[in-house]
Amino acid sequence: MAQAGLLGKKLVIAITDSDGNVLQKAPEILKWSEEEISSDEKKYPIGEEEEHREVINQGWKGSISGQDTNGAYDDIVDAKIKYQEETGDTLQFVIFTTRTYRDGTVKKYKFTGVTFDGYKADVDGNNKPVNNSINWQAKKRVPI
């Protein structure tokens, strides 16, 4: 069981374009997920009893979701579609995360080569807020 004081207390997320410019409107993020993308190669050399395993990191993926408070999710999707139509390439972003733990420990990461896909907007009833979600994939997660 986790001990008090070891659980993450605060998570701050910032998204920039690939040039480091902060987005004009930051999306409200109520849920965040990140997951390592990896593959493993196993070898069973003749004459050896144990297998050899190598785990290869191939990037990171996850999703963000929150309420549509300012149109920021739509701005990200519109920018990536416009960029693709104009250049034929995929617009890349950078995500910065800062985790502050109860004991004062701070962990900062920079996700590079971020691309977004799987945008979704939904609403549950006429007077309810619009909820947005979008998936992301990054080439690297770098401690900073």
pLDDT tens across 23-47, in order?
A: 888 889 999 999 999 999 888 888 8
Given a contact cutoff of 8 angstroms between Cβ atoms, the answer to whether 48 and 100 are in contact is no
Residue 1 has pLDDT above 80, yes or no: no
Does residue 71 form part of some domain? yes
Q: What is the mean pLDDT of the chain?
A: 90
Does residue 3 form part of some domain? no
Quote the pTM value.
0.83
Residue 137 has pLDDT above 80, yes or no: yes
Contacts of residue 49, defined as CB under 8 A and 6 or more positions apart, other chains included, come to none
Domain containing 64 equals 26-143
Q: Total domain count for the chain?
A: 1
pLDDT for res 47 = 85
- Mean pLDDT for the stretch of residues 97-118: 93
CATH number, position 93: 2.40.30
Helix and strand element counts for the chain (H, E): 1, 7
Q: Which is higher by pLDDT, 105 or 85?
A: 85
pLDDT for res 6 = 47
